[in-house]
Every structure is written in structure tokens, then in C-alpha cells.
Chain A
Amino acid sequence: MHKQTLAELSRALSSGAISSVALTEHFLARIQKYDPLLNSLITTTAEQALSQAKMADERRKQGKATALTGIPIVHKDLFCTQGVRTSCASKMLDNFISPYESTVTQKLADAGMVMLGKTNMDEFAMGSTSETSFYGPTKNPWDLEHVPGGSSGGSAAAVAARLAPIATGSDTGGSIRQPASLCGITGLKPTYGRISRFGMIAFASSLDQGGPMAQTAEDAALLLEGMAGFDPKDSTSADLPVPRYSDTLNHDLKGLRIGLPREFFAEGLDAGVASLIQAAVKELEKLGASVKEVTLPSTSLAVPAYYVIAPAEASSNLSRFDGVRFGYRCAQPKDLEDLYKRSRGEGFGAEVKRRIMIGTYALSAGYYDAYYLQAQKVRRLIRQDYDNAFHEVDVLIGPTTPSTGFRLGESARDPLAMYLSDIYTIGVNLAGLPAMSLPAGFINGLPVGLQLIGPHFSEAKLLNIGHQYQTVTDWHRQQPAQFA
């Protein structure tokens, strides 16, 4: 059953070939058997999953099932789930049983999906390796010595090893696309505002966006239909109708204009990755697309702008963790300041503290104009680059990451190299664009991802291209042998 996509499982459920309870038991057994090797889950919710599965089977009997009803899913552990620990992979929230439910998880539960558990991640989503988790690192199912990427590394590893058919993730600077790339799955970061952020623990509010992490573009389309939509509880959510993404997957690609950003194929890109991306572009040309080079001149400014804006927003967002209302509190505080400082000093990990401090510095008196305001101007420059490119082409294509990623422990020695490895993904968040990573081959047994970037609210087009690419390739069908 775990070798099937969500779309296939959905058909099997509706034909009566399988039940949601059987499916849920199967995946829970796989989690029990394999997750000790991967550490992709922080919390498994077996009992709750089985009761949701029973309800889903009941609902199907009543003829009220949707494409998602009865399908198991795992959620990144920054989506608040009522009555279930929501830790953000931090000691700060190790004891936090969420008193409310995020809009995304509520919508998927309402559609009849079955939550198997909550996935591991970088602490507060700050990282690209899933190593900064309070609960220990997640491993890459393709090579247990390698990181799965991050911050949604647990979700990516769980889907790649087929411990769940599909997962949710979130993407602030590449945190869906980069782990999708490194784990060989399909991940979509939607347009800013497409999916409600209500109940998604905030890192950088102007950049954060939830999205699907799936085996295929078709599966991502089905899950996105369930996740997307206006939410009065999120003042930044877009008040636009949600297209039926799964209805346009089979449109042909004749006349599609593809742009290859020159800066995404420049120095720093692994030669093996470059040739796999070129091969993927050739496949799309065979499907009727035309290709031209375009330029995004401000590309090298994206990582610097991000490392001012994201920490600045984080320093503000994470001020809510004060040891008073929820989360970790230090022992025997001697006064209020000691309570704040020790609760935060002991509750946050080193990378989170560094980012809070960078943000605090960038926003402090005397430095605000030079850092924060300047970064916000650069942000507009970056968006203009993309706007200009989309006057010439329909979609941009390039690698998701410059290489197949880090070995465990490597990034701690050189954190700046890790920051810079997000060069192809970060600009998309600054500009608020949708983008997707698709499996496009392997180097030494490690997956490589192809990135598609489109104009605002072009998810249907990206999913259409992704699906067409996946009808002529089978990289997305490969599974790590150890988890067969």
C-alpha cells in the first residue's frame, strides 16, 4: 500500500479495495519499524489516527467522502494541533499541548484525513538540515549519513521513506523545496497568502507559507486544494477562489515559455546537478516548451536581505515566549527579568538565539535604517527582477539546491555555507512567489531537485508542468531501497 501515491490510494479507498483503518494500521506499522532509523517524527498519534480512520470509513459508507477522506498524513510540528503536543522541535515548547487547532490541520481533518503524527524539523524552522531539533536530527532515507534538508526535513524524510503517503510543511526561505529536493519528493511552496497561517507557529510572518510535500505533483495538487483558501483568522490570507488544481494537470505544454535564470547556473552549482537540470529542461522542450535565458541580477543579494528580514521578524515573533503564559519556565526565577532571560536562554537552542540576536541588532536604535530598511528596499529590487523576467517567460526553471546537500554534522562547522546554499530558494520567499521542487535524478544515490518558479498565484500552472514532467520521467517513483 505504501508504494502507491495519494491519488492511487484515494481510488483504492473509493472502490472499496482497501479501508482507511487498514491503510492507517499499515503506515503506523511502518513508522514503528522504520522511524527509529530516521527520527522523522517527534510525536506519533496512533490512537487518534485509528479513531479518525474509523470515522473516515464510516463517512465513506454514508457517501460523503472526498478525495482526501481516509488518507493518512503527517504534519510538520509547527502546525498547532489541539490536544496534541506542538513543539516546533524546541525545548521551549516540549510541554506545549496546543489548546487550539491551526486552520490547515482543521481543514484537512474536516476533509477526513487521518493524522499519523507530527514531524521533526529544525528548531522553530530555523535551518536547512533538520539538525537543530531538540529531539535530535532527522536522517536522509537515501543515505543515513546525510541530512534530509530542512527545515521540513521530517516531513520530507517520512514521505520519501513512505512512512506516510503525504505531509504538510512550511517554507520561509526554502524549507519545503530544499528538503523535497534532498529527499527526492515533490514539494510546493504556494504564493504568500494562498494558505492560512493561522495556528502555524510564526518564524518570519511576511515570508512563512505552508504547503504540500508529496510523492507527485498530482498528489500535491489534491492536498493543496484541501489546504488553500481564504481564512478570516489570518489577515494576510488571500481572498481569492481556490482553483481545482487537479483538473488542469493534463493541459499540454505547447507554447510554454521557460526562462533559465543565468545566475542559477553560475559559479557554485555542482556540475552533476547542472547536467540533470539541463536534461529535465530538454524533456520539457520535447513536451512543447520553448526555452530562453533570462537574468535575475539581484540574486546574490537575496541571502543577505533574508538574513536581516527573517531574523528581524523572528526576534519580534519569538518575544512571545516569555516563560509566563506557555512553554518552558526556568526553575526558581529570582525576579521578572531573571524569569525572562533564563527561560529564554535555557529554552531556545543556539541557532534560534543567534537569529533572535541578529534580528534584535538589526532593529535596534541606530542600525534600523542601515540594516532593516535597506533590506526591505533590496527586497523590492528582488521582486522587480522576477516581475521583469515574467514579462518575457511564463515560468522560471533551475536547480532547487546547488548540490546534493550536507553530511550530518557538516553544517555546524560552517553555518554560513549552509546559509548560502539557500541561494536559489530564498528570493522566491522575499518576492512572495509560488515555487515547486520536483525529483530530477540522482548523483551517487542522492536525489536532485528541479525548481519551477511562477508568477503570483500560478500554482495551477506549476502543478500542470510538474505533472506533465512526471508523465515522461520516473524519478518521482524511485524509493530508497532500505525502506522498500
Chain B
Amino acid sequence: MSPAQTSTLTPEQVRKIAHLARLGISDDQLGEYAQRLGGVLDLVAKLQDAPVGDLAPMAHPLDATQRLRADAVTETNQRKALQNVAPETEDGLYLVPKVIE
């Protein structure tokens, strides 16, 4: 599939992107987001004509690979400290709305 040729994203496309990103966007904002995001897509459209030839994609500025560490336990249990900042916990568990009926 080729990227968008013009600045237009449809409100339906914005709704889909927002869903993928799990962002609540109200219907009356879809138009504004469509326009703003379209502007950015126009800006980045220039990449399509870049003379990249057979250059390899560059994921790390120094082309470094991930360093490995010894497979050893290094962390202490900080459950309480980490759960202190959670919105809702009980018995050391994070609470969310019921998922399974």
C-alpha cells in the first residue's frame, strides 16, 4: 500500500488510528485531528523520493547491538513502593474493570 498522497485523512481513518493507539478522541475532534495529521503526512511525504538506494535501515545511531548481561537476579522485590503510585490496588494486585464475565 502506498502512503497517503495528499493531506487528507478521513475521519474514519483517524478513528481507526485512535483506536489502535487506545486514545479516546471525541467525534467532534476527528476533523481537526484529520487535518493536523494530514499536514504532518504531507511533511514526511518527501521521504518517498529520497535517494536511499540499497542503504540498510539504521536503528541505532552508532549501529551498536544490545549488550547482554549475566542471567542473574539483580532486582529486589519493590512491589509495595511500585504499587504506591498505582491508581487502585488490592492485596498486591492491580485492579481494573472486570474483564471476564
Contacts and interface: CB of A to CB of B under 8 A. Distances in A.
A357 B37 contact: yes
A360 B40 contact: no
Contacts, number: 183
A300 B46 contact: yes
Given A304-B47, A345-B25, A415-B36, A373 B57 contact: yes
Nearest to B19: A341
B39 A339 contact: no
Nearest to B1: A366
Contacts of B73: none
A149 interface: no
A381 B46 CA distance: 14
Interface stretch (A256-264, A288-296, A325-333, A402-410): A325-333
B46 A301 contact: yes
A186 to B, nearest CB: 23
Given A99-B84, A315-B21, A378-B52, A432 B61 contact: yes
B23 A356 contact: yes
A400 B59 CA distance: 25
A377 interface: yes
B47 A357 contact: no
Interface string B69-101: 100000000100110111110000010111100
Contacts of B6: none
Nearest to B82: A99
A370 B23 contact: no
Contact of B37 (A319, A361, A381): A361
A47 interface: no
Interface string A345-380: 110100001101110111010110011011111111
Interface in A244-296: none
A390 to B, nearest CB: 14
A97 B59 CA distance: 33
A364 B3 CA distance: 11
A140 to B, nearest CB: 26
A333 B17 CA distance: 21
Contact of B52 (A341, A348, A377): A377
A419 interface: yes
A383 interface: yes
Interface in B19-78: 19-25, 33, 36-37, 39-41, 43-48, 50-52, 55-62, 64, 66-67, 69, 78
A192 interface: yes
Contacts of B58: 376-377, 379-380, 383
A377 B59 CA distance: 9
Contacts of A96: 85
Nearest to A359: B21
Given A193-B64, A326-B86, A357-B17, A342 B24 contact: yes
Contacts of B18: 357
B85 A326 contact: yes
B50 A377 contact: yes
B46 to A, nearest CB: 5
Interface string A306-340: 01100000010001001111111100011111111
Contact of B50 (A303, A374, A429): A374
B59 A206 contact: yes
Contacts of A307: 40, 43-44
Interface residues of B, number: 53
B77 to A, nearest CB: 13
A376 B44 contact: no
B47 A431 contact: no
A326 B94 CA distance: 10
Nearest to B84: A99
Contacts of B78: 99
A353 B44 contact: no
A91 interface: no
B23 A353 contact: yes
A133 B39 CA distance: 23
A305 interface: yes
Contacts of B97: 333-336, 338-339
A235 interface: yes
B85 A381 contact: no
A415 B49 CA distance: 24
A358 B37 contact: yes
Contacts of B3: 367, 370-371
The interface centre, meaning the residue of A95, A96, A239, A353 with most chain B CB atoms within 10 A of its CB, is A353
B46 A304 contact: yes
B100 to A, nearest CB: 10
B44 A346 contact: no
A381 B62 contact: no
A354 B94 contact: no
B47 to A, nearest CB: 5
B87 A361 contact: no
A382 to B, nearest CB: 9
B85 A376 contact: no
A430 interface: yes
Contacts of A95: 85
7 contacts: A99-B82, A235-B69, A236-B60, A300-B46, A356-B23, A370-B2, A378-B52
Given A193-B62, A338-B24, 13 more contacts: A98-B85, A99-B85, A235-B66, A235-B69, A324-B86, A325-B94, A338-B97, A339-B97, A341-B23, A344-B21, A354-B40, A376-B57, A377-B58
